[in-house]
Structure 1
Amino acid sequence: MGSGLGHYQPALTGIVAPFGWKVYRAGTTASTNADCVSFAESGGTERSVFWADQQSGGRGRRGREWTSPPGNLYVSILFRPERGLSAALTLGFVAGVALVDTVKIVAPTLDAKVKWPNDVLVDRHKVAGILLESAATGTICDYVVVGIGVNLGIGPPNPSVGLSPGAFKPGSLSDWMTPPPVGEFLGTFLSQLNAVYGNWCEAGFGPIRRRWEACATGIGSTVSVEKGGQRIAGVFSGLDESGAMLIDAMHVNAGHQCVRVTVGDVVFRGAGTVRESECS
């Protein structure tokens, strides 16, 4: 298993994983992403899954804290795609599509959506987040670790505290239903991820991009973004081949222009106001 990972054991009960996937479980860890990165750096194999009942140092994008009490899903997955790094980083969208598929299986009546770049919403509440970490040799990907947190049974105690103005509030599946056991949800998710990842490996990002756009919040709505010291307003029209946001912007002198956004503060006006930044 490697140095510092002795608190993980093979998950032999409570979960049914697809063939070829190895699931390791710990009661408590600081960060499943940090553990999975360590495993990757030591030569660990693809489709290895690190699952913890709780985290003492969970984190989201840009170093934000991810509250991690027992009762939710905290998992990180190692991929070694034979791709350039920019292509490999679209695996965040692969995970997002698989998460929406999973929610639709366990709760068919809920309205699950993806939100650019790496969140999942239910009824306009954030229930899941995705964090990617990677390494490359030159432009060729060595590995991508996809970290996922899903609020199944417990949401933040004070969901409005610390939110940016107008941001989607966090929630948990238990706000709408009795959630399945964590291991059952994880097994369903890995089955969906196995299928979507297989499609990505065979056909590239194109089919995944279309599926992501079909279940995305905010497409066709008005957004504004700070880019290069300018505030640009326009319509969120979808993703490009790298997963960047495309905005059909109106410029006074140039007419319509397609603006590509990978980093910036984006405000979704037609689908709720959200401050967002960084594509990966």
Structure 2
Amino acid sequence: MTANIRTIAETGSTNADLIELAGKGVPEGLWLRAERQTGGRGRLARTWESPQGNLYCSTIVRLRPYDPSPGTLALVAAIAVHEAVGLFLAPDKVIIKWPNDLLVEGAKLCGMLLERAGDAIIIGIGLNIAHHPDLPDRPATSLAACGAGNIGPGYFLETLAEIFARWLEIWRGQGLAPIRTYWLKHAHPPGTGLKANLPDGSTLEGIFAGLDNDGALILRLANGTSHAIHAGDIFLI
């Protein structure tokens, strides 16, 4: 089935646009791609640099009564993009960092932002294809810098939309288990040192001990206790 993709030359934020369209009843499955964003946003209110040549897109999922927890769509998005990137780079080079950043040798390749509007979850994806920013707090990279060649953002999105639709169907039909299995296979391995900056301003350090049944990150602290993290900014140590 051909994906429902709308492409526009420029906008402030594809997520903001889809939040507005969600209120007007647009159906699940719509993808909005901008060739350039002037007000791109990342998690924790970060600005997302948006030069032409990268992928800036958002899609909408309409929640149904028996869907798994909406927050676990972050994991669905992560593995869909990981699988799509794996068609252009060796999949074992690309690591998922909780919940849905993609890293290559520790450098950020892709970030995502999920926002809720009524019964809709808006999933925004920013993938560095041709360019990557010089970030003050973490390294970044792009598909081009990793040797993937010249990939058009529109072409990549057509591939991604099909993969995401398949994983969304699995999420609805089989629950979180297969999503969690794929995610753990391609994430930072158990025992990886992590630092978590939490929404209340506190910081925790420990080692990665997996995901709980709801997709929360389990951090094992130095005192032997485990802490479930449902929201936060995670750094590899």
Match of 2:225 among 257, 262, 273: 257
Segments of 4+ moved more than 2 angstroms: 83-86, 107-110, 222-235, 248-251, 262-269
Count of aligned pairs: 235
Identity %: 32
Note the C-alpha offset of 1:242. 2.4
Distance (Å, rounded) in 1 between the aligned partners of 2:35 and 2:218: 38
* CA gap 1:185/1:267 in 2 versus in 1, 3 angstroms: closer
Structure 1 39/208 Cα, relative in aligned 2: closer, same or farther at 3 Å? same
* SS of aligned partner of 2:41: coil
2:11 match: 29
Residue 171 (1) aligns with residue 141 (2): yes
CA–CA separation in structure 2 for the residues paired with 1:173 and 1:229: 33
Q: Which residue of 1 aligns with 2:100?
A: 118
> What TM-score results when the alignment is normalised by the length of structure 1?
0.77
Structure with bigger gyration radius: 1
* More off after superposition, 108-117 vs 238-247: 108-117
- Counterpart CA distance in 2 for 1:265 and 1:155 is 20
Read off the aligned partner of 2:107 and give its amino acid letter.
Answer: H
| Structure 2 residue 115 is the aligned partner of structure 1 residue 133 | yes
Which residue identity lines up with residue 130 of structure 2 in the other structure? G
211-220 or 226-235: bigger deviation: 226-235
Residue 183 in 1 paired to residue 154 in 2? yes
Q: 1:120 to 1:226 in 2, by over 3 A?
A: closer
Aligned residues: CA RMSD: 2.3
Q: Is the 8 A contact 2:37 2:51 kept in 1?
A: yes
User: Which of residues 216, 225, 236 in structure 2 aligns to 1:244?
Assistant: 216
1:146 and 2:117 matched = no
Equivalent residues in 2 for 1:65-76, closer than 5 Å? 65-76=47-58
CA distance in 2, matches of 1:231, 1:23: 40
> Are 1:64 and 2:46 matched, yes or no?
yes
Is contact 2:83-2:91 (8 Å) kept?
A: no
- State the alpha-carbon separation in 1 of the partners of residues 236 and 27 from structure 2: 39
Q: 5+ unaligned residues in a row in structure 1: which ranges?
A: 1-17, 137-141, 270-280
Aligned partner of 2:172 in structure 1 is: 201
Q: What is the SS of the residue equivalent to 2:144? A: helix
Distance across 2 between alignment mates of 1:108 and 1:68: 25
Indicate the residue corresponding to 2:33 in structure 1: 51
Residues 217-239 of structure 1, C-alpha deviation per residue, up to 9 Å, x if partnerless?
A: 25322334467887654321111
1:78 aligned partner: 60
| Secondary structure of residue in 2 paired with 1:259 | strand
Conserved? CA contact 1:96–1:120, under 8 Å: yes
Give the distance between the partners of 2:160 and 2:173, measured in 1 at CA: 20
* Alpha-carbon distance between aligned partners in 2 of 1:45 and 1:99, rounded to the nearest angstrom: 21
Q: Do structure 1's residue 40 and structure 2's residue 12 form an aligned pair?
A: no
Q: Does the CA-based 8 Å contact 1:89-1:144 persist in structure 2? A: no
Unmatched segments (≥5 aa) in structure 2: none
C-alpha change, 1:200 and 1:85, in structure 2 (3 Å) is closer
